[in-house]
Amino acid sequence: MIITVRSVYSNTYSTSERNFPMKKNREKSPVFLYIVIVILALIILALGGVTLMSLNDLAFLRSKVSSLQDTVQEISDTSADLLAQADELTSLKEQSASSETAEPAPDFSNIQEEGTISPSHSEPTTSTDDSMNSLLSQIQPLLPQNNGSWSVYVCNLIKNTEGNIDSHPMQAASLIKLYIMGAVYENYETLLQTYSADTLNNYLNPMITVSDNDAANALVEILGNGDTTVGMAAVNTFCQNHGFTDTSMGRLLLQSNENGDNYTSANDCGRFLKEIYQTYNNTSSDGTLAHADAMYGLLKMQERRNKIPADMPEGVNVANKTGELDTVENDAGIVYNTAKGIDLVICFMSENLSDTGNAQAVIAQDSRMIYGYYNE
């Protein structure tokens, strides 16, 4: 019996021992729940913080994008302004270039100081160089100081450089016959419809080779179809058309100069002969003189050789045209077959002379010096 009681007691105790831990677990459940809630709350807070930071970053990025857009717009506006300024500068440059073309800067190359060699009073034609300037400076003191007024033209036909001393309109005397010849040859084909070639040539030859005044007047009449006034106008038209602006015919040869006279310049005569030479030798494409070969041939036949040709070395040739009045001594010639091949145009004009014999000697001597300067 005793054994049975202990067995019941033992079972009861065992039951009590097993139920006690279960009660303890039920007491711990709310604490765990709180922990979970706290953790969840922390997670939510963390996520909120991250979200808030993301939103802040997004706002920052948006502000940066907006700022970048503003910068791009500023750059675009600046570029547009720069392009507009560039277009304006281009326009101003074009206007400036147009203005310079329309109104070239003044040329001071012809300004002369007193006592120096004078460029032409008429328009300059081509270039000069140091060699030409040196030559002219040597000629200047060789011209008579107490025997009239003088003008000189020189052209180096090989280099096509030229220069002159005080070229301006002066009494042409028989140098006007150069331009009568030029006008006749310019109208030669038209004149052949009325006059024979022999008729024209029979006047041209003596007018140039022996300076026949009657032949010159006959050609002026032919140019005017019987009217000498019209004929002189034709000579003047020829001169103006070819740029010989210092030259004009105001009277017939041997006629009184009360109502006008004949004028030319050393520069015009020199350029006339230069163009004949260059056209004949095909050294220039700018020649406008008709029948230059025929005119050159007549000048080579010149019989009056007491000025430019007078002192030239043997073998050197001169195709020239002289002109004389009571107080005038002129000569214009092409010097060719030169020793060094430097052919020249030389022209001397003088007026108001007190000693024409001295003037002829000066022209001969100075022409020889010019030749030697280039060819010896």
Q: Are 344 and 270 in contact (CB under 8 A)?
A: no
The per-residue b/e assignment along 229-238, b for 16 or more CB within 10 angstroms, e otherwise, is eebbebbbeb
pLDDT of residue 39: 82
pLDDT of residue 45: 72
pLDDT of residue 120: 35
Nearest Cα neighbor of 186 from 255, 251, 272 is: 272
Nearest Cα neighbor of 267 from 341, 344, 348, 355 is: 348
CA distances from 269 to 26, 265, 350 (A): 141, 6, 13
pLDDT of residue 219: 98
> What DSSP letter does each residue of 314-335 carry, written as one string?
TT-EEEEEEEEETTEEEEEEEE
Token pair, residue 130, equals 């140091």
Residue with tokens 């000579």: 235
Q: Are 220 and 231 in contact (CB under 8 A)?
A: yes
Cα distance between residue 323 and residue 360, in whole Å: 11
The pTM score is 0.68
Please name the residues in contact with 63: beta carbons below 8 A apart, sequence gap of 6 or more: none
Cα distance between residue 273 and residue 265, in whole Å: 13
pLDDT of residue 348: 98
Strand ranges, E, within the chain: 149-156, 161-165, 170-171, 263-264, 317-325, 328-336, 344-351
pLDDT averaged per 10 residues, the chain (length 376): 37 39 49 75 71 61 62 60 60 51 38 32 56 96 97 97 98 98 98 98 98 98 98 98 98 94 98 97 88 98 98 98 98 98 98 98 98 97
Q: How many helices (H) and strands (E) does the chain have?
A: 10, 7
Torsion, Cα 129 133 136 137, to 10 degrees, reads: -170
The per-residue b/e assignment along 40-67, b for 16 or more CB within 10 angstroms, e otherwise, is eeeeeeeeeeeeeeeeeeeeeeeeeeee
What size, in residues, is the chain? 376
Cα distance between residue 348 and residue 363, in whole Å: 7
Cα distance between residue 60 and residue 71, in whole Å: 16
Other C-beta atoms lying within 10 Å of the C-beta of residue 289: 19
Please name the residues in contact with 185: beta carbons below 8 A apart, sequence gap of 6 or more: 289, 290, 291, 294, 295
Q: Are 169 and 265 in contact (CB under 8 A)?
A: yes
Residue 281's φ and ψ, nearest 5 degrees, are -95, 5
Secondary-structure breakdown of the chain: helix, strand, coil percentages, each rounded to the nearest 5: 55, 10, 30
pLDDT of residue 43: 79
- First-to-last CA distance in the chain? 176
pLDDT of residue 170: 98
* CATH class of the domain whose range is 130-375: alpha beta
